Amino acid sequence: MTYDEVMAAWRDNPERFWAAQAEAIDWHTPYDHVVDLERPAGRWFAGGTLNTCYNAVDRHADGPRATQPALVFESAMTGREETYSYADLREHVSTLAGALNRAGIGRGDRVLIYMPMIPEAVFAMLACARIGAVHSVVFGGFAGPEVATRIDDAEPKAILSASCGLEPGRTVHYKPMLDEALRIAKHQPAVRVVLQREAAPCELTGADTDWHAFTRDAEPVDCVPVRSDDPLYLLYTSGTTGAPKGVVRDNGGHAVALTFSMAAIYGIEAGDVFWAASDIGWVVGHSYIVYGPLLAGATTFMFEGKPVGTPDAGVFWRLIEKHRIKAMFTAPTAIRAIRREDDAGEHVAAASLEHFQTLFLAGERCDPETLQWAERQLKVPVVDHWWQTETGWAIAGNMAGAGLFPVRPGSTGKPMPGWSVDILDTDGNAVPAGDSGAIVCRLPLGPGATAGLWNANERFIETYLSRYPGYYQTGDAGHIDEDGYLHVMSRTDDVINVAGHRLSTGALEEVIATHPDVAECAVTGVNDALKGQVPFGFICLRSGASAEPTAVIADCIKQVRRVVGPVAAFRSAIVVQRLPKTRSGKILRSTLAKIVNGDTFSVPATIDDPAILDEIATAIANAKP
Ligand code: COA
Ligand code: AMP
């Protein structure tokens, strides 16, 4: 079937379409309805029971794929290389699941996972799924206070962690951050398990248990059937305010949607090798390092390392060759980083990529130049596609499994089944093709989309469903061109994307505002040639502030790193006399964004140049309400 035929089948009868996709999943008991509107965004496969771990692991381990590699791991940081067959994966996962059960953790209990990119993190996620516990993975680049916020919201019974993560030139010691998180958090998980990594073991204290002691002699346990709409995981993501949102993912809709996406969008069948070069702390890692490829019976490749400098800008291509990877998924930032070091593509030319068929990009806007450079070097289609933590898989993209339609650089392809995408003006009216507006999706959402926000139903409705009744507001703005391609251009809220990492400017502002010399502040994204965007701060000092402006900026930068974490990549700010505001006193963030991203300031290397900073200050002083 072509893309148009797949879309026609879905449009013609969405329920029949998804019921056909649901046949790829092993249900413990059949569902009653494909979708109902008991939840505003839709509830999928209600009445059915299944187990996601069973579908991702056991059914392959029980069949002809038992000895096929399920997970291949390689670390550029330690040299560790491992291959786990589906049978091996089941052994590890069911034993860890048994240990969790033994420690009193079961269906519905939350488990926080704060771990680096190692196979044990995947075992942990799947072990939770196996026993019906709800995992919440926190990205390693977040610091202790961010972990504390998530602990207090999710109230996990257990925390699984490791002694360290490894960044080029830097060891990330998790234990002190975890200890700080637990000092701050009101909720105290009873079970705390730490995996000691050779690179930097830590001292276990208080309630900490060593990972191997925790799993020793544990009886492997079977998969527990859960309801289709029971939560599989919570994943916190950034919103407009500093408080992260716990996106809830269900089991049934998720399993069906991801299985469909592996074949249709990525062109991956059982036995193929797929690599999502992301991190398990992000939704891309959840969907396409862990669940998607395993649900499909494929081999997932997991990499601890960076696209450049570990050891060089050829590492991605050598790994694609070595592991016979058929399709890869990464963020445009990774490609820009590689290009910066190897514009001529010498490393690409040195690799034999005959098994490689498609490169997929997402996570941030991809500039056409980057996409075209990758196409020229790799000589395969490079597909930009668009989605969000909330949706769990692509809203718009292309279909490698149905024969790709022509890629249009600068666009994120066309809508996928499940997603009726419209562009609305501020009055909520659909705009003509080519005109810009808010990107929205008609309700109900496709399977796999979030079932809501943890502990925050009203926030869910207010953030996503109330602005345009009958629609889900994506928070992105853009247009659909005359040929039906979607162009995602910017956010409509205070979220920025830094190296493909989603951050809330509000969260950074909250930290900066705690400095005793800061009267008020604003943070906006400034264009960056490598990371797409980086945060830039505007700070007004209190009258009579004791510290020098440069010292205040330095303190704020340090404090953001300490409280939010290094992932914030907050390195630049300016002290200004005032912030532009509306007559009612609201800071005009869009004016600030325009000022720093105007033609004069678009070269990021110069954002800290005193002359540019002077110009920014003058532009702000002259900004009209
Ligand atoms: N644990 C701890 N710290 C982390 C981390 C993790 N898992 N991931 C990133 N960090 C740290 C980095 O070490 C860096 O710290 P530093 O300030 O001490 O240098 C900081 O957070 C900022 O990270 P990043 O913005 O990623 O910059 P970088 O210079 O380390 O790497 C790239 C730049 C382009 C190589 C990197 O961003 C990359 O590979 N991006 C690919 C995009 C991607 O994976 N996106 C995920 C969604 S698809
Ligand atoms: P996250 O929830 O972290 O995956 O971030 C989702 C946000 O990243 C989206 O709402 C967009 O703002 C942005 N994004 C993701 N993919 C793309 C893309 N292909 N093009 C433009 N923006 C994207």
Residue 38, pLDDT score: 81
Query: Checking DSSP bridges between strand 191-195 and strand 208-210, what pairing results, if any?
Result: parallel
| Ligand 1 atom 5 nearest Cα | 141
Residue 38 Cα distances to 42, 43, 500, 512, angstroms: 7, 6, 34, 42
* Cα–Cα distance for residue pair 77/363, rounded to 1 Å: 24
Residue 603, pLDDT score: 40
Q: Is 606 a residue whose pLDDT tops 60?
A: no
Q: Is 193 a residue whose pLDDT tops 60?
A: yes
- Angle among Cα 276, 10, 129 to the nearest 5 degrees reads 40
Task: Compute the distance from residue 195 Cα to the ligand 2 centre, in Å.
Answer: 32
Q: Which residues does ligand 1 sit against, CB inside 6 Å? A: 139-141, 165, 167, 170, 172, 278-279, 282, 284, 306-308, 331, 333-334, 337, 363, 498-501, 531, 566-567, 569
Closest CA to 153 of 71, 39, 235: 235
Note whether 498 and 483 are within 8 A (CB): no
- Looking at residues 564-578, what average pLDDT do you find? 94
532: region left, alpha or beta (phi > 0 left; psi from -120 to 50 alpha): left
DSSP-H helix ranges across 28-71: 52-53, 59-61
Residue 313, pLDDT score: 97
Query: Checking DSSP bridges between strand 421-424 and strand 437-442, what pairing results, if any?
Result: antiparallel
Which ligand 2 atom is at minimum distance from the Cα of 490? 12
Backbone dihedral angles phi then psi of residue 198, each to the nearest 5 degrees: -55, -35
Q: DSSP letters along 96-112, please? A: HHHHHHHTT--TT-EEE
pLDDT-derived band at 611 (thresholds 50, 70, 90) equals: confident
Residue 241, pLDDT score: 77
- Looking at residues 59-77, what average pLDDT do you find? 98
DSSP-H helix ranges across 34-107: 52-53, 59-61, 86-102
Does the Cβ of 509 fall within 6 Å of ligand 2? no
Task: Compute the distance from residue 586 Cα to the ligand 1 centre, in Å.
Answer: 33
Which ligand 2 atom is at minimum distance from the Cα of 332? 19
Q: Which of 280, 333, 366, 497 to mutate to test the pocket of ligand 2 (most atoms within 8 A of CB)?
A: 497
Residue 122, pLDDT score: 98
Does the Cβ of 388 fall within 6 Å of ligand 2? yes
- Looking at residues 311-338, what average pLDDT do you find? 97
Q: What is the pTM of this model?
A: 0.96
487-525: pLDDT as tens digits: 999 999 989 999 999 999 999 999 999 999 999 999 999
Query: Checking DSSP bridges between strand 110-114 and strand 134-137, what pairing results, if any?
Result: parallel
- Looking at residues 399-407, what average pLDDT do you find? 97
Task: Compute the distance from residue 567 Cα to the ligand 1 centre, in Å.
Answer: 6
Burial class (CB in 10 A: 0-12, 13-18, 19+), 253: buried
Backbone dihedral angles phi then psi of residue 389, each to the nearest 5 degrees: -50, -40
Tokens standing for 335? 């490609």
Residue 242, pLDDT score: 75
* Cα–Cα distance for residue pair 526/535, rounded to 1 Å: 6
Which ligand 1 atom is at minimum distance from the Cα of 330? 48
234-277: pLDDT as tens digits: 999 998 777 889 999 999 999 999 999 999 999 999 999 999 99
With pLDDT > 70 as the criterion, what percentage of the chain qualifies? Answer: 98
Q: Is 284 a residue whose pLDDT tops 60?
A: yes
Report residue 183 CA to chain centroid gap.
27
435-456: pLDDT as tens digits: 999 999 999 999 999 989 999 9
With pLDDT > 90 as the criterion, what percentage of the chain qualifies? Answer: 89
Note whether 424 and 13 are within 8 A (CB): no
Task: Compute the distance from residue 165 Cα to the ligand 1 centre, in Å.
Answer: 12
Task: Compute the distance from residue 363 Cα to the ligand 2 centre, in Å.
Answer: 4
Task: Compute the distance from residue 465 Cα to the ligand 2 centre, in Å.
Answer: 19
| Residue type present at position 563 | V
Task: Compute the distance from residue 113 Cα to the ligand 2 centre, in Å.
Answer: 23
Which ligand 1 atom is at minimum distance from the Cα of 284? 48
Shortest-distance ligand to the CA of residue 278: 1
Task: Compute the distance from residue 373 Cα to the ligand 1 centre, in Å.
Answer: 22
473-484: pLDDT as tens digits: 999 999 999 999
Burial 541-553 (b: 16+ CB within 10 A, else e): beeebeeeeeebb
121-154: pLDDT as tens digits: 999 999 999 999 999 999 999 999 999 999 999 9
Does the Cβ of 92 fall within 6 Å of ligand 2? no
| Ligand 2 atom 10 nearest Cα | 388
Q: Where do we find the tokens 């990119």? A: 117
What angle do helix axes 610-622 and 589-597 make, rounded to 10 degrees?
140
Round the average pLDDT of the chain to a whole number and report it.
Answer: 95
- Looking at residues 526-545, what average pLDDT do you find? 93
Shortest-distance ligand to the CA of residue 492: 2
Shortest-distance ligand to the CA of residue 239: 2
As beta bridge partners, residue 525 has: 535
Which ligand 2 atom is at minimum distance from the Cα of 361? 19
pLDDT-derived band at 605 (thresholds 50, 70, 90) equals: very low
Q: Is 596 a residue whose pLDDT tops 90?
A: no
